[in-house]
Homo-oligomer: A and B are copies of this chain.
Amino acid sequence: MISLHFLDLTLFQTLIEILATLAFGLSGLLEAARKKLDAVGVVVVAGLAAFGGGTMRDILLDRRPFFWMQHATWLWGLLALCVLAMFFMRARHFELTERAMLWPDAIGLGLFSASGTQIALSMHMPEIVAVLMGVITAVVGGVLRDIVCNEIPRAFKDHSPYAVCAFIGTWVMVLAPQLGMSDNLSLILSATLVTLLRALSLLLGFQLPEWNTTRQKSE
């Protein structure tokens, strides 16, 4: 995931961001552990989940250097996270961690999709492309995590709105500056909206439509 380092980051913002990247990385770590990958697999899948989305966005936008190349400390941080987790985390902690991570993950979804959209807009991409880049920033990490673990990506299958929240909320990042709002304010509004939509989806159990082939077959 991309840092919001182009903003004048206060300590508070930095903390949120670290927490969000941690949530993304931990989601990879837990899936790798469940699939009984070895230590290398755990590190790789955690890294893909944490940095895969921002990297994919930067490849598509032809933007270099990647966040993790410029701030290589994050790679050490990821390694440390994995080593610590392998030493201290027990199977009985898994479900607990996963539930505790839902909220930082929702914050990450908002933060990374809004900032991804802003980056694409600053490169003069068409609006729908900018929104798509925001969604990719926030979602592709989890998609790569699931593909490497030989699963159909959760974001495409579990019917809980996730990418859709990012798709809706990042339009604020596109439209608000056209109404005269500052970029920073738009970013905060957009990220908050995405996070709220995700939180509501989780709390109220929203479900995405699926192709109801069963009912239709029995017609």
Residues of A within 8 A of B (CB): 32-42, 44-45, 55, 59-60, 62, 64, 66, 68-69, 72, 75-76, 86, 90-92, 125-129, 132, 143, 147-153, 155-159, 162-164, 208-211, 213, 216-217, 219
Residues of B within 8 A of A159 (CB): 38
A156 to B45, CA, bound (A): 9
Q: Give A219's nearest chain B residue, CB to CB.
A: B90
* A41, A152, A153, A211 — most chain B CB neighbours (10 Å): A211
Q: Are B75 and A132 in contact, with the CB atoms below 8 A?
A: yes
Chain B residue contacts of A36, Cβ below 8 A? 157, 210-211, 213
Tell me the nearest residue of chain B to A79, going by C-beta. Answer: B128
* Nearest B-chain residue to A76, judged by Cβ: B128
The answer to whether A86 touches B209, judged by C-beta atoms less than 8 angstroms apart, is yes
Contacts of A90 in B (CB 8 A): 216, 219
Q: Which residue of B lies closest to A42 (CB)?
A: B211
Task: Given A66-B60, A157-B41, answer yes or no on A72-B152 (Cβ-Cβ < 8 Å).
Answer: no
CB-based contact B147/A148 at 8 Å: yes
Report which of B37, B128, B217 forms a contact with A157, defined as CB distance below 8 A: B37
CA distance A182 to B75 in the complex (A): 28
Contacts of A164 in B (CB 8 A): 39-40
Whether the Cβ atoms of B126 and A69 lie closer than 8 Å is: yes
Quick one: given A75-B129, A217-B91, are A150 and B148 in contact (CB under 8 Å)?
Answer: no
In whole Å, how far is A48's beta carbon from the nearest beta carbon of chain B? 11
Closest residue of chain B to A36, judged by CB? Answer: B210
Q: Considering the chains assembled together, what is the distance between the CA atoms of A152 and B35 in angstroms?
A: 9
B40 touches A155 (CB 8 A): yes
| Distance A182 CA – B72 CA, assembled complex (angstroms) | 25
Chain B neighbourhood of A126, CB < 8 A? 69, 72
Q: Kindly list chain B residues whose C-beta atoms are within 8 Å of the C-beta of A158.
A: 38
**Chain B residues, Cβ within 8 Å of A45:** 156
Question: Chain B nearest CB: distance from A67 CB in Å?
Answer: 11
Please, which residue of chain B has its CB at the minimum distance from the CB of A69? B129
